Amino acid sequence: MRFETGLIEDPQRGRVGIVRLRVRYAETDRMGIVYNAHYLTWFEVGRTEFMRALGTPYRVIEERGYNLPMVEAHLRIRQPLRYDDLLVVLTWLGRLRSRVVEFRYEICDQAERVVATGSTTHASVESSSGKTVVVPDWLRDLLLG
């Protein structure tokens, strides 16, 4: 595959995080294809590696007292993936609002075809109070680059 793990610059999408995964047997179902829920987990891996590539791992964001729980997700599967397939998750920033962050995703197979797309929206939550808060400046700066 052309894609290397890391960060690329895309004219439309801005910075795009890239991570390669391989389908686990555990992720297949009796249809012989990847069970749908695992795409959301792959989106999480995409987000995690995107933020690491931006310079602040999501783990550190939590250590600083913030959580980004998912409040909305959209997923579209165009072509199924199968056991042992290599895939690439591309992740980039969607809309950034006052208290909410959106990420967008594209999943490509080994032939570089787009096999799934999606987006997830996350609330900015202060972990001590559990309350939704304005995205802190340092996180906004990290995401906007």
Return residues touching a second copy (CB under 8 A): 24-26, 28-33, 35-38, 40-41, 44-45, 48, 57-59, 67, 69-78, 80, 82-84, 120
DSSP states along 12-58:
TTEEEEEEEEE--GGGB-TTSSB-THHHHHHHHHHHHHHHHHHTS-H
Residue 14 vs 69, nearer CB to a second copy: 69
Smallest separation (angstroms) from a second copy to the CB of 138: 19
CA atoms within 13 A on the CB side of 104: 10
Active site residue 109: no
- Map residue 60 onto helix, strand or coil: helix
- As measured in angstroms, the least distance from the Cβ of 73 to a second copy is 5
Q: Whose Cβ is closer to a second copy: residue 9's or residue 44's?
A: 44
